[in-house]
Structure 1
């Protein structure tokens, strides 16, 4: 049976879920699939691209902004936090692909909230950076046993504050 990119991504996805980001390497994925590491490179050019694809796989359900931006970010949190190192993985994937889901859906939702296209794109980027940073801090605090405030209320409050400011104008107030 021929090896496919989908099998490679699925295996890396499982490894992230089972062992975390640090234990995912091209050699480990190849070993899990019973192939030589070089066989992977025909389908996936490098580890970064593999992680980007795993990020897309995790965020696949976030292509639509049903319920608006806050509901979309709640679903982002639900998709990312169950994976050990999920927030760090999505940070890497987002750095490699700024149009990673849910960015297009978020831009569309913001445009419906009367943001101009450029403002919607800029605001979506700002919100994603906040959300992914907040999720990474929350997830790492749990991984390292640090106690602190409950993550979800803090995460949501920050997003609400950012969204409440509305579109930013370059004109003097």
Structure 2
């Protein structure tokens, strides 16, 4: 059969959703497609590159254009979309985190760019904007990774009842929003604190 990169990514995403990241290997992907593992390397040099392409597919809805009233809304909307996208696939946060660490995902780079732009709009210096963006992405990946782990443990009946993610008191969405608001408020305070320094430098 003739292989196309789109078909490889689609099948890899199917394996991810059905079996999890641990079972998403080049060998398993080749077996599912009924080809030799070597055939996959015409399209992807290694597994990291494949995972980057899968991450881009997962994050496609995150990068669609969105109108925001201000920089706070821009960050909130983008991060909410990111969390939703990660939660829509088994081990989504873990896979995207791995691609983020190895720099294999163009979609993650686009998310970072938009968050950095929002940080600059907040008054952060361009030199610190990317660091602010990375801090926010680390928060979303970390929170959602923990959330997905709890979901899996709860589904397996291994999570104590008082820690169940389905307990209304747990409210992971509200907890996520609270943590994100702390980052946004901190960004505003940090930008305001550095404003006098920037003004003196400009004069």
Whether the TM-score (by the shorter chain) exceeds 0.5 is yes
Matches of 1:134 and 1:43, distance apart in 2 = 33
* Aligned residue in 1 for 2:129: 120
TM-superposed CA distance for 1:76, in Å, is 0.7
| Counterpart-to-counterpart distance in 1, 2:10 and 2:18 | 12
Aligned equivalents of 1:8 and 1:86: distance in 2?
Answer: 17
Higher mean C-alpha deviation, range 158-167 or range 70-79: 158-167
* Equivalent in 85, 92, 95 of residue 89 of structure 1: 95
Unaligned runs of 5+ in 1: none
Please, which runs of 5 or more residues in structure 2 have no aligned partner?
69-73, 198-203
The change in CA–CA distance for 1:119 and 1:15 in structure 2 (over 3 A counts) is: same
Q: Deviations over 1:18-66 (max 9, x none)?
A: 2211111101111121211110011101111111110111112222464
What residue in structure 1 maps to residue 85 of structure 2? 79
Q: Is the 8 A contact 1:65 1:106 kept in 2?
A: no
1:151 paired residue among 172, 182, 195: 172
* Matched ranges for 1:19-168 at <5 A: 19-63=19-63, 64=65, 66-67=67-68, 68-97=74-103, 100=108, 101-145=110-154, 146=159, 147=164, 149-166=170-187, 168=190
Q: Distance in 2 between matches of 1:154 and 1:136?
A: 14
Consecutive aligned runs of 4 or more in structure 1 exceeding 4 Å deviation? none
Structure 2 distance, partners of 1:85, 1:61, is 17
Q: CA RMSD in A?
A: 2.2
Higher helix share: 2
* Distance (Å, rounded) in 1 between the aligned partners of 2:122 and 2:4: 41
1:10 deviates by 1.6
CA distance in 1, matches of 2:184, 2:127: 16
Deviation at 1:94, TM superposition (A): 1.0
